Structures are given as structure tokens and as C-alpha cells.
Chain A
Amino acid sequence: MVRFENVGMRYGMGPEVLRDINMHLKPGSFHFLTGPTGAGKSSLLKLLALSHRPSRGLLTLFGQEVSKLQREDLPSFRRKIGVVFQEFRLLNHLSALDNVALPLRISGADEDQIHTNVTELLRWVGLGEQMFAKPPTLSGGEKQRVAIARAVINRPQLLIADEPTGSMDPEMGLRLMHLFQELNKLGTTVVIATHDIELIRRFSSPVMFLQEGTLHHSGAEEYLKRHRRSKV
């Protein structure tokens, strides 16, 4: 599904923000990505979302080496990836319904089907009453739910979420994590970037820990022990 081999990344001519990243995410796996601010989480997510290309190393997505992808191949690859941005990146002039419908419209889905699917999903995330509301009128948590609904509407093969539960109450956060789990059970590979130790404890999924641009892998238990030690 996703394979990084000695991947490095830099912005322009700047220093490397990611160094020698090696990882292999199997189809249908569930991972947390964590690390201190500035460690390179967002950069790693950008590589996964095909927003940037690595400066060196091999990055393979869905069995294809990214550096060999033609520009015209990128949209079909991106449609297999759902991204929840930390800052939501919703289109403020579109309603919640239209924002969520966007990936389906872009891929040319039937309007009736779009309406049915989007309405159902928005109800599920608790936004049945705010379907026609525009993002500036929604709270942070509501915007985040719209962003999550937009990311999952296409049933992506890879779901990347940057602090997806950061702006919502614990109950709604849990509900959305269960949505991610449901998708994961259907075969979606999920990567969740978070600082929330409680979330890692509750879901006990493998943890990828970024520190100073390098990636370390561990189980949830092992990571939590190390975290406790560092706190002491």
C-alpha cells in the first residue's frame, strides 16, 4: 500500500525536514503518527497526500513509485486518498453539503447518488441540521466534521487525518474515531497524526513517532511507556 525507503524531503533549497524515512503501511492497517511540533509530521502527511514529492529515496503508493508517476496520473491516485487537514481547508462559499460533495462531483458521480450519499454521511456525523450552512457559520468542531466527511465520502483506500479530533468534544471525537475504524475494517489504511495520548491509549494501534526528522516505529504500549518515562 505505502512504502517509504530512505525518503528525504526538503522545501526548496532549505535543510532536510525529513531524513531517511523507512516505513511500510499494509493495506487495511491503522497507525498513529505523533511527535513534537516541528518534527515533520505535516511534511510526512504532505508526502502521503501526494501534495509534495520526496527530495530523495523511494516512495511507493498503491504499488506505483511516485517519482515515476506522470502528472496526468496524479488525480486518479489522489482520489484514492482522503485527507483531513488540520486547518480544515473547506471552501467558505460552499455549503457543508457542497463541500462534502466536491470529491464526488470532481470524479463525475451522478447528482442523485451524490445527494443521497452526502446527506446520509452528514446526518451520521451529526450535521443533518447544518447541511446548507456555510463554513464561516459553523463551529470549529462542526467544520472538522465537514472536513472528515469530505475526506471519507469517496471511500478512500488511504485516509490521512491531521489532528482530526482536536476541535471537538470527546464524545464526537470518539464517534469519528469509530467511523475511521469502520472504514479501516472495510480495507482503508488509516494514518492519524495526533498529539492526543488518550486517543493512542484508547485505540492501541501502532505508533509512528517522528523526532527531528527521523521516524521511529513502536506498538502503542511501548510508546506509552516511553512517553510516561519521558514525563517522569
Chain B
Amino acid sequence: MISFLGKSPELQLEKDASSRYLPIVIAAMVFLASLALIGLFSLHSAVQSWSSAVSGNLTVEIAYEDGVDLDKKMAKAAKFLKKFPGIEEVNPLSIDEAARLLEPYLGRADIIKQLPLPRLIEVTISEGSSVDLLATAKKLSTEVPGAILNTHRPWLDKMILLARSVQFLAAAIMLLVGVVTVIIIVFAARTGMVMHQAIIEVLHLIGARDNYIAQQFQNYFARLCLIGAIPGSVIAILTMQLLSLLAGRLEAGLISAPTLILEGWIALAMVPILVVLLTTVTVRWIVMGSLKRMM
């Protein structure tokens, strides 16, 4: 009887030098595929987080004008905005608060305060409300000249486009890894068939079915791939954790650490299983095809 974890009793495929290093190749392939998958899901999470952070928030920017009382202009704009239905909170930022926001990029806050900075008002929209942002922006600029309502949408759209392109690239890498893995398996299985042709002939002549022979090949290759796929996955997860740690240390709001949602973890766990299934199907297809050409 041939069991999945048992050795190939007649063909002795375990002694083949040709496929001995297959687990290392498979580990590398699984590592690359897992990294691509982690990137794909992390970007998905990042896009979600950017969207949710930006969609409920607007910024009103009041341009700096020499000799103009910007505090007065801010108060006028805030008063105007509070009248709009659907606007939950209007928070004019003081010059100190604005300087503190710029401190990580420009240096000391006390020096920044002396620069001709625009003034900012943070606006939060009530959840589920449908504020006409275009009309609001138009009315605001008429009411308070120099005030610009910034919805962050163009910036977000560009970021999403970039993220989607990288996700597409990650998916293409996964596909490429899959194709290369299949090609490697095809060559290894064909080499195995050639090396063991004499024994296969004997097995056929004493009444072995094609399935009996194919099972020995598919179990052996599936086992080799599993041996390679598990370390490949583990190394990819460790790499992800290391990148998370490094990204966390950057303390940059925009660059989020790679995080996986539940679906991501499930997909990651499925990679070794899929590789084993892909191997089994490929080897069976190759071996059965070759056996059919024999009598």
C-alpha cells in the first residue's frame, strides 16, 4: 500500500539525486509568493486605513496675507462652516498647534511660528451625512476670500492608484512564481520518469496500473514540496514581522507596518497547501501522460 507519507516502495524515488534539492527551490518560491501575498493584503489594509482616515476629515486652509488678521478670518470661516448641516465639528488650529504639526519636518516650533504659515481649520463630517463638498468649498471661498476647502481626495486617489498598481504587480509575481514552480516540477517529474523507466516497465508487465505508479511519483513530489513549502512560509512570516518592527520604528504615519487581516492569514496558510496540491496535480498529469505513451 502506498501512503502519502510512506516511501515509494518500488521506484525508490527518495534516492534520486535529481530531485534532492527540490525542497530548497520550493522554499524559495513559497517565500516569494508569500511575500507577494503579504504585500497584497498589507496594501489593501493600508488603502482602507487611508480612506477611513481621510474620508471623514476636511481641512480648510486660509492663505497667509501680509497685514491681514488671520485669526479674524479663521473665526469667520469657522462660524460659517458650523452653520452647514452634516458638519459635526469645526476645530480651528492655533499657530502653536500648526507649528507642532510641522515640527517633525521643519525643525523647532518657535522658529516655524515666525514663518508666513497658512492657518488651518480641522473639519469633521458627521457619519453618514451627505455634504455637498463642491458647493461648500465655493460658498466658503466667496464668504471668506483666501479660504480653500481641502478634501484630500486627489491625494488619496493618487495613493490608491499607486497601491493598486503595486497590488497588481504582487499578483503578477505570485502568478509568475506559480508558473515557474509548475515548470520545475514538470522537469523533475519527467527526469524521474526517464530514470526509472526500466522499473516502470517491469511494474507494468507484472500488472501494475498507471495509477499505482503515478501515486508513487505524486506522493513523493508532494512530500518534497511540503518539506520546502513550510519553511518558505515560516521565513516569509518572520520577514513580515521584521518589516513590521522596522516600519513601526520609523514613526511615519503614512508608512504603515505590514499587517494582515484574517483573510490574509488564511491565504498565507493556504500557500503551502496550494503548492502541494499544484504539485500533485502537475505530477499526476505528467506521469499519466508519459505512461499512456508506453504500452
Contact = CB atoms under 8 A, between A and B. Distances in A.
**Bind each other:** yes
B207 A106 contact: yes
| Chain A, interface residues (CB within 8 Å), range | 20 to 34
B177 to A, nearest CB: 35
Interface string B175-216: 000000000000000000000001101111111111010000
A94 B205 contact: no
Interface in A62-88: 71-72, 74-76, 78-79, 83
| Chain B, interface residues (CB within 8 Å), range | 10 to 19
A48 to B, nearest CB: 11
B295 A106 contact: no
Nearest to B208: A106
A152 to B, nearest CB: 12
B249 interface: no
Interface in A101-140: 102-103, 106-107
Contacts of A174: none
Interface in A135-165: 150, 154
Nearest to B291: A71
Contact of A102 (B198, B201, B206): B206
Nearest to A66: B295
B109 to A, nearest CB: 79
B10 A76 contact: no
A91 B212 CA distance: 16
A74 B206 CA distance: 10
B83 interface: no
A89 B197 CA distance: 12
B292 A71 contact: yes
Contact of A78 (B15, B198, B199, B204): B204
A79 B203 CA distance: 11
A50 interface: yes
Interface string A40-61: 0000000001111100000000
- Which 7 A-B pairs have CB atoms at the shortest separation, nearest pair first? A79-B207, A78-B207, A103-B206, A75-B209, A75-B207, A106-B208, A89-B202
Interface of A: 49-53, 71-72, 74-76, 78-79, 83, 89, 91, 93-94, 102-103, 106-107, 150, 154
Interface of B: 9-10, 12, 15, 198-199, 201-210, 212, 292, 295
